[in-house]
């Protein structure tokens, strides 16, 4: 049996559709972004339906005069044709009274549509897309919260009537300082789980197979995807939660919180981790990621404080301090293997 999509998944699709409406109809939209949009459409049939719904609603705003609106509206531009510049109208000129009447009618229609969607909690009042490429970036969200994005991280934020939702894409890392609001909880979603707060400071790191959440201040609840009752964890300051695909439970540990956000100062703190856990953290900063080749290497441990702009030097030094060697597999990838293992 196929389960229904989670509510947060519907919110994510709405926010992403809003983002693409803005980007595709911006003159600065690149060919690479258009290709990424095509890939996004192909991922899920709901993407096309939601994009078309957004397009229809916002297309109405093309006839509106530049008058301040009284209902919540997204901070995005109105759609223009995908082909580039907007074509000239072939309709006959209308007199001023008729234009005013049409504009007033359209204002009411758009206001009613958007207000109904916002009041019902279906549509956000504000949507933002943020990317840090290649270096780190600090952004302020529409609700006043601050987020520091690590390199090559992407975040979508949507401000709904009764909640605030952010989606951190796989391979991303972000340090959140969330504005307190008990009436409008703040949630961060990743492919590997979610974090729910009302106001706090915490760090989230995620890759295709795991999520790591470290709490510095306040309180958060960490949940894996499709979690059931009893399979969530509430953190207090100094706690770290790790959820890995294939492991049904959340792993908890007490850590030095400052180490989790050392990346904001250009440092990576590795606190006696196995290479299995450390290599994904290191790979973020490498031009060509390395792989762990066998269970023996995966269990080897390293520690220390390293500069994020020189982690290749750390990888190069591993064969000197651990009983492993660097090899190249049949696909040309660098693999860390035990000196006694065969690829």
> Among candidates 275, 276, 277, which has minimal Cα distance to 255?
277
| pLDDT for position 99 | 41
Query: What span, in angstroms and rounded, lies between the C-alpha atoms of 119 and 72?
Result: 9
Confidence at residue 46, expressed as pLDDT on a 0 to 100 scale:
83
- DSSP E strand stretches across the chain: 126-132, 137-140, 146-149, 153-159, 164-168, 173-177, 186-190, 193-197, 201-207, 210-217, 220-223, 233-235, 239-244, 251-254, 267-274, 290-292, 301-307, 324-328, 334-338
In a 13 Å sphere around the CA of 312, the CA atoms on its Cβ side amount to 6
φ and ψ of 217, to 5 deg: -155, 145
| Phi–psi pair at 144, nearest 5 degrees | 95, -10
User: Which residue in 199, 141, 144 sits closest to 167, CA to CA?
Assistant: 141
Given this model, what pLDDT does residue 221 score? 93
Q: How far apart are CA 182 and CA 197, in angstroms?
A: 9
Residue 62's pLDDT is 47
Q: What is the DSSP string of 268-303?
A: EEEEEEEHHHHHHHHHTT-SS-EEE-SHHHHH-EEE
**pLDDT at 219 (0 to 100):** 92
In whole angstroms, give the CA distance from residue 34 to residue 24: 7
Q: Residue 111: which region, alpha, beta or left (left: phi > 0; alpha: psi -120 to 50)?
A: alpha
Q: How many CB atoms lie within 10 A of CB 271?
A: 14
| Whether 105 contacts 64, CB under 8 Å | no
CATH for 127-259, among 2.60.120.10, 3.30.750.24, 3.40.50.720, 2.60.120.1440? 2.60.120.1440
Please give the Cα distance from 180 to 208 (Å, whole number). Answer: 30
Report the SS3 class of residue 151: coil
**Backbone angles phi and psi of 231, in degrees to 5:** -110, 30
Question: What are the phi and psi torsion angles at 242 (to 5°)?
Answer: -125, 130
- Which pLDDT belongs to residue 304? 93
Domain ranges in the chain?
7-119, 127-259, 266-338
pTM here is 0.69
Q: Please check whether residue 22 is in contact with residue 54, taking contact to mean a CB–CB distance below 8 angstroms.
A: no
Give the pLDDT score at 159. Answer: 87
pLDDT under 70 in the chain at which residues? 1-11, 25, 56-122, 227-230, 341-343
How far is the C-alpha of 301 from the C-alpha of 93, rounded, in Å? 75
Architecture of the domain defined by 266-338: 3-Layer(bab) Sandwich (3.55)
d(CA 122, CA 162): 10
HSE of 98, CA atoms in CB hemisphere, 13 A: 4
Three-state DSSP class for residue 53: helix
Q: What was the pLDDT predicted at 197?
A: 92
What are the residues facing 195 on neighbouring strands? 188, 222
Q: Cα–Cα distance between 232 and 153 in angstroms, integer?
A: 25
- Largest Cα–Cα separation, the chain: 86
Q: Looking at residue 44, what is its pLDDT?
A: 84
């Amino acid at each position: 049996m196929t389960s229904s999509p989670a509510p947060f998944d519907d919110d994510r699709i709405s926010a992403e559709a809003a983002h693409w409406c803005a980007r595709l109809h911006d003159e600065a939209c690149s060919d690479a972004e258009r290709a990424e949009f095509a890939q996004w459409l192909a991922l899920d049939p709901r993407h096309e339906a939601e994009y078309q719904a957004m397009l229809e609603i916002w297309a109405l705003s093309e006839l509106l005069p530049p008058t301040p609106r009284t209902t919540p509206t997204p901070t995005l531009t109105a759609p223009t044709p995908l082909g580039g510049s907007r074509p000239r109208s072939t309709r006959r000129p209308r007199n001023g009274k008729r234009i005013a009447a049409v504009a007033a009618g359209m204002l009411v229609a758009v206001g009613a549509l958007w207000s109904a969607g916002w009041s019902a909690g279906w549509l956000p009042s504000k949507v933002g897309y943020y990317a840090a490429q290649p270096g780190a970036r600090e952004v302020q969200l529409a609700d006043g919260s601050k987020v520091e994005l690590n390199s090559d991280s992407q975040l979508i934020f949507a401000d709904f009537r009764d909640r605030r939702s952010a989606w951190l894409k796989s391979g991303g890392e972000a340090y959140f300082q969330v504005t307190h609001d008990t009436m409008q909880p703040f949630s961060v979603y990743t492919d590997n789980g979610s974090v729910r707060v009302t106001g706090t400071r915490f760090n989230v790191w995620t890759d295709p197979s795991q999520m790591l959440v470290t709490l510095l201040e306040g309180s958060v609840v960490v949940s894996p995807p499709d979690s059931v009752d009893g399979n969530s964890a509430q953190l207090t300051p100094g706690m770290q939660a790790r959820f890995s695909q294939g492991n049904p439970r959340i792993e908890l540990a007490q850590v030095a919180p400052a180490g989790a956000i050392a990346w904001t100062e250009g440092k990576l703190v590795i606190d006696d981790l196995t290479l299995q856990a450390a290599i994904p953290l290191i790979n973020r900063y490498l031009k060509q990621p390395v792989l762990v080749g066998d269970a023996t290497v995966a269990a080897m441990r390293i520690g220390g404080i390293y500069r994020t702009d020189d982690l290749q030097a750390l990888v190069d030094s591993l064969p000197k301090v651990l009983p492993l060697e660097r090899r190249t597999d049949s696909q040309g990838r660098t693999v860390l293997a035990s000196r006694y293992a065969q690829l």
